[in-house]
Amino acid sequence: MQSGFSPRSLITATDTDVIKHYVRQGLGVGVIASMAFDEKDEEDLVCLDASHLFEHSTIHVCFRKHKYLKNYMYDFIELYCPKLTRSAVQGQVQLSPTLL
């Protein structure tokens, strides 16, 4: 990195598709979550691992209280975090319904 480097401008966007569009338009570089970079992006974008530059972040899985969860919802939660099995989620809901 150059000594004394500072960006000339900063654009923020909450949608990764918008960030990738800005990069494709030549507006600079973008920072996105690794899961937002997919195979079709490899055609015209390069993804470099920058995880060492950022703190680990906690992400929450949320759903409505008293809402019946369908099988695919449990599957998604477990895919996202393998220790959150159907029984673990149901147990947490029964133990701490006010936390959801």
Position 28 confidence tier, pLDDT thresholds 50, 70, 90: confident
Query: Percent of the chain, pLDDT > 70?
Result: 86
Largest CA distance in the chain: 55
Tens digit of each residue's pLDDT (9 = 90 or more) over 77-97: 888 888 999 999 888 877 765
Q: Please check whether residue 11 is in contact with residue 18, taking contact to mean a CB–CB distance below 8 angstroms.
A: no
Tens digit of each residue's pLDDT (9 = 90 or more) over 47-74: 888 888 888 877 777 887 777 889 999 9
Q: Where are the domains of the chain?
A: 16-53, 58-100
Mean pLDDT of 5-29: 84
